[in-house]
Structure 1
Amino acid sequence: MPSYTSVPAPIDTIWGVPDTKDQVLPGIWHVTTPSHGGYVLSDERQAAMPAALRRDDPFYEEDVDWALVLLGFASEFRRLPTAGITLQVENARRSVRAWHPDRYSAYTGEDVPPSDSHVLRRRAAYTAAIGQYASVSASGDWADWVPAGKVGVMFRRVEGVDALGFARFSGDPIHGLVDKDQYGKRGDVETFDSLGAVRVESTAPITKQVASL
């Protein structure tokens, strides 16, 4: 197994100046800042990261990308005398499978079914909605422009979708009114048509005194 060189603690990160710094393995620092944190890799470690798991920069944030580091150097992490480290490594594997299914498949050679990854499910849903208007925000009937029993929804046209399943939108938004019960049954990705929305030209003229459509 390759040996790696310990390096000085990072002075700065993309999240700001670190408050805490811990070199968990030679060349792998875990840092926290007032805003965020994660793993920071030395040049040597970054170069050694498996290509399928490697970010363009050496900063692996604590919400999702931390798992790439534990999976990439799993055998070393498992040997750490840290309580529960085996479970942490296994959780990292599951996290990469769910959040980075393409990277996971490229690294392991295992296919990830959509049932195991909300990213794949969301990506498929937005891909199917390309060219349609998808809901992006909503207001309850507490808003001046939404009649009682309705939900006011803003929709934008789906132009494309990225690898993480986030839509790219284009053009101006449109607005519609949706029955509250129908809106309560919504899925992760809904469109103007799937919600049965009724178009309103703008939010300005609509008031609670307008009869439900």
Structure 2
Amino acid sequence: MKKFARTPRPEWSNWDAIEEAEELLPGIWSVSTASHGGLILSGERQEAMPEALRIEGASYEEDVNWSHVVLAFESEFREHSKLPGAQIALARDCVRCWHPDAFTTFTGEKVTEEGSYTLKRRRAYQSCIGELCVTAAWGSWADWVPEGKTGVVGSVIRSVDHLGHATYESACQYALVDAKAYEARTDPVSFASLNAELIECPPGMAR
């Protein structure tokens, strides 16, 4: 196992001024700020990150990307860090769920839709490519939406990236749909599935 050098406490972070910092392993700092936090890697650690798990900038935020670092150096974390075993196991689950392609490339393990929210989302949005789908909605509190209705705006899905994020055509369309039907939706939701009643762009709204 390669030996990594210890590094000074980071002086900055992508998230805010650093309030607390702990070196979990040489060259791997866990930092927290008033707003967010995550793991910051030394140049040596970042260079050693497997390509499939490496994120540009060497800052791995605390919601999801931290798990890339723990998975990359899993054996070292188990042997030499104070990180609980449950958190190390969570890292594997986190990468598998949210970044399944990176997980498979690094581990060689196939990920199914049952084990990955991202794969489910990607398939769902891919099935709607070319369809007019809802991107935002307003309740009857809006002056252009009648009681019992939900006002929606949407665009045609043009493409879907590897994380299941859709790219939409620039043109948008407004419509009214049944409020209960909208409440029962599962995303993505097409205008056709809601029997949307197309309307002109309401006054003051973006075209």
Relative to the length of structure 2, the TM-score reads 0.93
1:73 paired with 2:81, answer no
Alpha-carbon distance, 1:32 to partner = 1.3
Residue of structure 1 equivalent to 2:139: 140
Identity of aligned residues (%): 43
AA matched with 2:3: S
Determine if contact 1:77/1:85 at 8 Å carries over to the other structure.
no
| Whole-angstrom CA distance in 1 between matches of 2:17 and 2:109 | 38
Which structure 1 segments of 5+ residues have no match?
206-213
Determine if contact 2:38/2:62 at 8 Å carries over to the other structure.
yes
Which structure 2 segments of 5+ residues have no match?
none
AA matched with 2:24: V
Residue of structure 2 equivalent to 1:3: 3
| Whole-angstrom CA distance in 2 between matches of 1:61 and 1:3 | 24
Alpha-carbon distance, 1:68 to partner = 0.6
CA offsets, 1:51-101, max 9 Å, x none?
21111220000011011111111111112463x711001011001000000
AA matched with 2:133: A
| Whole-angstrom CA distance in 1 between matches of 2:119 and 2:172 | 26
Alpha-carbon distance, 1:17 to partner = 2.6
| Whole-angstrom CA distance in 2 between matches of 1:111 and 1:119 | 14
Residue of structure 2 equivalent to 1:48: 48
Relative to the length of structure 1, the TM-score reads 0.91
| Whole-angstrom CA distance in 1 between matches of 2:162 and 2:143 | 38
Runs of 4+ in structure 1 displaced over 3 angstroms? none
User: What's the secondary structure of 2:60's corresponding residue?
Assistant: strand
Matched residue count: 204
Determine if contact 2:24/2:81 at 8 Å carries over to the other structure.
no
Alpha-carbon distance, 1:128 to partner = 1.7
RMSD: 1.5
| Whole-angstrom CA distance in 2 between matches of 1:122 and 1:196 | 23
User: What's the secondary structure of 1:88's corresponding residue?
Assistant: helix
Residue of structure 2 equivalent to 1:131: 130
Determine if contact 2:25/2:81 at 8 Å carries over to the other structure.
no
